[in-house]
Chain A
Amino acid sequence: MNKEWPIWEVFIRSKNGLEHRHCGSLHAADAEMAIQNARDVYTRRQEGVSVWVVESKNITASNPTKNGEMFEPAADKVYRHPTFYVLPDEIKHM
């Protein structure tokens, strides 16, 4: 029986000093082939100096229908931001 190659998520570091960023996905039979394919599909124009691949099924994602309870509590915690604190204008570099 013909089986589909698994899906991998691809992360590329565009240059040293920057983080790896998700750039897309692809199919490959194994991790080594996923790296090779990622090179051919996502770095044809020197877009990267490092590639990570992870099989998509290994990623756990938050549930967007729970976004309210997940992310909204941060909205009323304005005291976590520097602009919450009122200082005189003469104060510099703070």
Chain B
Amino acid sequence: MENKTLSLDDQFQERIDRGENIEAKDWMPEKYRKTHIRQISQHGHSEIIGMLPEGNWISRAPSLRRKVALLAKVQDEAGHGLYLYSAAETLGISRDELMEQLNSGKAKYSSIFNYPTVSWADMGAVGWLVDGAAIINQVMLTKTSYGPYARAMVRICKEESFHQRQGYEIMLSLCNGAGVQKAMAQDALNRWWWPSIMMFGPRDEESPNTEQSMKWKIKKKTNDELRQQFVDQTVPQAEILGLSIPDKDLKWNEERGHYDFGIIDWEEFWNVVKGNGLMNEKRLKDRNAAWDEGQWVRNAALAYSEKQVERKAKKIA
């Protein structure tokens, strides 16, 4: 019975090392709980805020086919936000607290959504690149150690692949269209490429949480590994479109078996994270308006259900 001499932290680490999943009511180090609340809620907030740049284009989609696809995608994102919030709530934070953190600006969400979607081609580029990058991260997270998070990821990954395909199809149509349409696609790629590869976060040596996250199997791959995977899979996709990726240092490295790519502008990255992106202010303003304007609906629904319960009780009495 060697286990008795181990601290709770060590026993926990042993469970992780054995590949066990941790479930909601299991003992866990406070830092594991806090890290998960932060990461899962940021992930959920990204889904919710992620609806805004696309919702912007639903009424202006160029065909009914594109419109139903975009509507379905945005509806999925609402669903994904809910799966993630539910997973976060298993760790003892309430939905209202989560909303308060988002609406007050205290919580972060993916900085990618602080860039504007200025043309229809952006719907293509966002689906192809932003969802493509998200999928790489999320596929990894289906194997994460916290059970409720991993299960939410499995569900999300199943639904997400259509998001990327519909985006790529938009790009393909534009690239097979008139010169001005192809130019729109190229312009969208130019604007979304760098922010997309920033989505994987800071370089490994500047990512202080990576080591602990790997140890707890929250992450199974580092930011740089995931970023490389994204670049390697996306370059050939751009070639099929006949578009050029806006990076003069991008080239195949035979020796590494990977693409080399240029240096990311981390100053821009941190600037957007800190709230100085083009859309930070508008996103939060829209989010707060949606929450405040929905308050009477939430109150009315609750009042109605309370009244139903009272009526039932009176009938019985």
Contact = CB atoms under 8 A, between A and B. Distances in A.
Interface residues of A, number: 21
A29 B96 CA distance: 14
Nearest to B148: A24
Interface in A41-89: 41, 44-45, 61, 63-65
Contacts of A64: 23, 25-27
A25 B90 CA distance: 10
A88 B91 CA distance: 53
Interface residues of B, number: 27
A77 B72 CA distance: 52
B159 A29 contact: no
Nearest to B80: A41
A44 B79 contact: yes
Contact of A65 (B27, B159, B304): B27
Nearest to B301: A29
Interface of A: 2-5, 7, 23-27, 29-30, 33, 40-41, 44-45, 61, 63-65
B101 to A, nearest CB: 14
A30 B305 contact: yes
Nearest to A27: B95
A25 B155 CA distance: 13
B302 A5 contact: yes
Contacts of B25: 61, 63-64
Interface stretch (B81-89, B178-186, B187-195, B279-287): B81-89
A33 B302 CA distance: 11
Given A4-B94, A5-B298, A24-B83, A29 B305 contact: yes
A33 to B, nearest CB: 7
Please name the 3 residue pairs, one residue from A and one from B, whose CB atoms are nearest each other, closest first: A30-B305, A29-B301, A29-B305
B82 A26 contact: yes
B302 A3 contact: yes
Given A25-B86, A26-B86, A63-B25, A45 B94 contact: no
B167 to A, nearest CB: 19
